[in-house]
Amino acid sequence: MAAGSSLAGLRHTEGMDADVVVIGAGALGLSTALHAALAGRSVTIIERDTAGSQASGRAAGLFKSVQADELRTRLARRSIARARSFEDWAGVPLAVASPGSYLIARTSAHKQFLGIEHRQSRSWGVDVHEAPVPALSYYHGDGSERALWCPEDIYIEEPADLVRAYVAAAERHGVRLLEHEAATDITLSGGRVTGVETTSRTIAAPVVVDAAGAWVRQVAELAGGRVAVAPVRHQLLITEQSADVDPADPIIRVVDAAVYLRPARRGLMVGGFEAAPLAVDPGDEHASFRTEDLELDLAVLRKLAAPLAAEVPLAADAPVAEHRGGLFTMTPDGRFIAGPLPDLPGLWVASGCNGSGFSSSLGIGEALAAWICSAPDRLDISPLSPGRFGALTDDALIADGRWQYAHYYDPGADGQS
Ligand X SMILES: Cc1cc2nc3c(=O)[nH]c(=O)nc-3n(C[C@H](O)[C@H](O)[C@H](O)COP(=O)(O)OP(=O)(O)OC[C@H]3O[C@@H](n4cnc5c(N)ncnc54)[C@H](O)[C@@H]3O)c2cc1C
Taking a C-beta distance cutoff of 8 angstroms, is the pair 83, 156 a contact? yes
Piece of 18-26, 36-44, 311-319, 337-345 that binds ligand X (CB under 6 A):
18-26
For residues 58 and 146, which CB has a smaller minimum distance to ligand X in the complex?
A: 58
CA distance 26 to 117: 30
Residues in the chain: 417
Region 369-388 residues binding ligand X, contact defined as CB under 6 A? none
Which value, to the nearest 10 degrees, does the dihedral of the CA atoms of residues 330, 403, 359, 208 take? -10
CB of 363 to ligand X, least distance (A): 11
CB of 232 to ligand X, least distance (A): 10
For residues 124 and 273, which CB has a smaller minimum distance to ligand X in the complex?
A: 273
CB of 416 to ligand X, least distance (A): 22
Taking a C-beta distance cutoff of 8 angstroms, is the pair 181, 46 a contact? yes
Region 20-79 residues binding ligand X, contact defined as CB under 6 A? 23-29, 46-49, 53-56, 58-62
Piece of 97-105, 130-138, 229-237, 406-414 that binds ligand X (CB under 6 A):
229-237
* CB-neighbour burial class of residue 299 (10 A; exposed 0-12, middle 13-18, buried 19+): exposed
CB of 235 to ligand X, least distance (A): 6
For residues 56 and 121, which CB has a smaller minimum distance to ligand X in the complex?
A: 56
For residues 58 and 118, which CB has a smaller minimum distance to ligand X in the complex?
A: 58
CA distance 276 to 330: 14
CB of 243 to ligand X, least distance (A): 25
For residues 83 and 146, which CB has a smaller minimum distance to ligand X in the complex?
A: 83
CB of 163 to ligand X, least distance (A): 8
CB of 352 to ligand X, least distance (A): 9
Q: Are strands 207-210 and 202-204 parallel, antiparallel or unpaired?
A: unpaired
- Kindly report the CA angle at 380 between 376 and 383, in degrees rounded to 5? 155
CA distance 215 to 353: 13
Work out the number of other CB atoms within 10 angstroms of the CB of residue 178. Answer: 19
Count of residues interacting with ligand X (CB under 6 A): 43
For residues 214 and 261, which CB has a smaller minimum distance to ligand X in the complex?
A: 214
3-class secondary structure, 165? helix
Strand-pair partners of 183: 198
3-class secondary structure, 155? strand
Region 183-212 residues binding ligand X, contact defined as CB under 6 A? 183, 211-212
Taking a C-beta distance cutoff of 8 angstroms, is the pair 166, 145 a contact? no
Which value, to the nearest 10 degrees, does the dihedral of the CA atoms of residues 116, 117, 123, 129 take? -110
For 53-100, where are the alpha helices, taking DSSP H only?
A: 70-84, 86-90
For residues 7 and 156, which CB has a smaller minimum distance to ligand X in the complex?
A: 156
Per CB under 6 A, the list member of 124, 139, 166, 215 interacting with ligand X is: 215
Letters for 322-361 (x = contact with ligand X by CB under 6 A, - = none) are --xxx-x----------------------x-x-xxxxxx-
CA distance 110 to 96: 30
Per CB under 6 A, the list member of 236, 349, 369, 398 interacting with ligand X is: 236
Q: Is 103 in the site for ligand X (CB under 6 A)?
A: no
Taking a C-beta distance cutoff of 8 angstroms, is the pair 375, 35 a contact? no
Site residues for ligand X per CB under 6 A:
23-29, 46-49, 53-56, 58-62, 182-183, 211-215, 219, 234-236, 324-326, 328, 351, 353, 355-360
